[in-house]
Chain A
Amino acid sequence: MDQNELRQWERRCIQEEPPACTAACPIHVDVRSLVGHLQQGRWDQGWQTLARIMPLAGLVGRICDGPCEAHCKRGEAGDAIRISALEQACVRLARSEYRVTRLPGRPKRIAVLGTGLSSLTVVWDLVRKGYGVTLFEPGDVPGAVLCDAYPVLTPEIVAVELASLETLGVAFETGTVVHGQAFFEDRRDRFDAFYIGLDAVASVQWPLERGARGEVRIDTGTLATSRPEVFAGGGVLSTIRRVAQGRWAATSMDRFLQKVSMTAGREREGPYETRLYTRLTDVVAQPAVPMADAKAGYSESEAMAEAARCLICQCLECVKVCPYLENFGAYPRKYVREIYNNESIVMGSRSANLLINSCSLCGLCEAVCPEDFAMQDLCLQARRSMVQRGKMPPSAHEFALEDMAFSLGEDFFLARHVTFWVEYAPCEAGFEVFNAYAHRMEVHGP
């Protein structure tokens, strides 16, 4: 097996594909882990899971519009999990402290315009990467635009989030006229890159190429404008898409400043279709857990009950039906890697020999796998290759047979009578010679 074949095998097993909710999320929050924590009432761990991906989760987690819910597999058996409501409960119930690590400072400076969701995301992402960031608010109060748009966001909540940005070293400038051309001309020399948050700053008059209706022309993938150092985004309705555009812009700005490819490896940046298969047979339909107080949101017990409906989507179709695959504690994608490593090492321990030799080659896995993963082909191929290269005996009990032939032959006898016995266990695919006699070395004269 070469690296290429390894990749093809690995690709065929879909167990590590994200669940539909995560794939549909524009920023790919690990919803399955999050809801898994909430099932157990682990609010703090849930919060950490959320905040690992979501910028300013204490703010965004309260207002996310949850496009993931339309893709939830539970929705095919009753109501979809109310993921946004669970997120809100988590943000409310957890000790929501950010554990932020900031990379060592970089000399580049970035100007971010507006204090809407996309701008705050750009700031959050880039300040943690070590850039010097200044946030320009045309009005007097940073974040006021958020309080106006989302009644659930009180000025106190917004202030706490902005304070955490300030702690990270973000500079705030209020009351600055940012949309005029003068702002750009004045600051071109002092900043290395600019971001215009179109969700907070309207009618920018900067010298940028425009579309038919006068809107700033933006590359949908990188959010770059016609000027290489200027990026813009956030001009969409969905809250989480505004956040996502901020994130994509921040990635582009970082790449622009580091002079690396703007597009490489970004294929799965936005929402995509997952290949994960989730069996729904035998899943009983359930309605969503209602809220006693819709305004307050889910209580602790309500949130746990709602989270408990989550299917924690996984494939594991083959592992569910094969004791052999289950016994080794993982699934084919992991096994392929082990078998590949086992086959390719020159010296050292071949720890996957047992895995390779234990498959009974029945092909049940291939029959049940949505992608026809054939573990038996993989094991047989590995066996053949290793036997051919003298790295594995032709059968698992080859040694025992050779040993027996030697011990019964002319060259060997025991000086003392010993009873020895052999246990044959057909279900264990081979037999073990118990250590009744230990003279296994072949010994001969010079």
Chain B
Amino acid sequence: MKSDKDWGDELAWHCAACDRPLELGQVTVTYMNNSFTTDMPRCPGCGRVMVPEALALGKMAEVEKILEDK
């Protein structure tokens, strides 16, 4: 996942639990024993990460398929 994406829309979100704005930060993504790190919008308080729908249905699903080895 490339991090040259413009996160403008997602960074406008607030974490309701912590009442803090999301920040771009390093996140570890794990799937089927494979891990890699990337920058994604996350809450600096609780660490929850915002996964935008387009990413989940697009690039993420694509990478999952590759890792699933199907």
Residues of A within 8 A of B (CB): 348-350, 411, 415-416, 438-446
Q: Which of B48, B53, B69 lies in contact with A445, CB distance below 8 A?
A: B48
B12 within 8 A of A: no
A350-B42 contact given A446-B26, A446-B27, CB 8 Å threshold: no
- The count of residues in chain B whose C-beta lies closer than 8 Å to any C-beta of chain A is 23
- Contacting pair A444 B49 (CB below 8 A): yes
From B50, which residue of chain A is reached at the shortest CB distance? A415
A-B residue pair count with CB separations less than 8 angstroms: 51
Complex-state Cα separation, A358 to B50, whole angstroms: 38
Complex-state Cα separation, A416 to B57, whole angstroms: 14
Complex-state Cα separation, A166 to B69, whole angstroms: 57
- Contacting pair B53 A444 (CB below 8 A): no
- CB-CB under 8 A from A415, the residues of chain B are 50
Complex-state Cα separation, A23 to B25, whole angstroms: 73
- CB-CB under 8 A from A439, the residues of chain B are 51, 56, 60
- Contacting pair B25 A438 (CB below 8 A): no
From A350, which residue of chain B is reached at the shortest CB distance? B69
- Contacting pair B28 A444 (CB below 8 A): yes
Q: Give the 9 A-B residue pairs with the shortest CB-CB distance, closest first.
A: A445-B47, A443-B49, A438-B57, A439-B56, A438-B56, A441-B31, A446-B26, A438-B61, A442-B30
Q: Give the secondary structure class of A's interface.
A: loop
- Contacting pair A416 B28 (CB below 8 A): no
**B22-41 with Cβ < 8 A to chain A:** 25-31, 37, 40
- Contacting pair B70 A349 (CB below 8 A): yes
Complex-state Cα separation, A445 to B44, whole angstroms: 9
Q: Which of B47, B60, B69 lies in contact with A444, CB distance below 8 A?
A: B47
- Contacting pair A443 B29 (CB below 8 A): yes
- Contacting pair B28 A441 (CB below 8 A): no
From A437, which residue of chain B is reached at the shortest CB distance? B56
- CB-CB under 8 A from A350, the residues of chain B are 69
- CB-CB under 8 A from B47, the residues of chain A are 444-446
A446-B25 contact given A350-B69, A416-B53, A439-B56, CB 8 Å threshold: yes
Complex-state Cα separation, A158 to B68, whole angstroms: 64
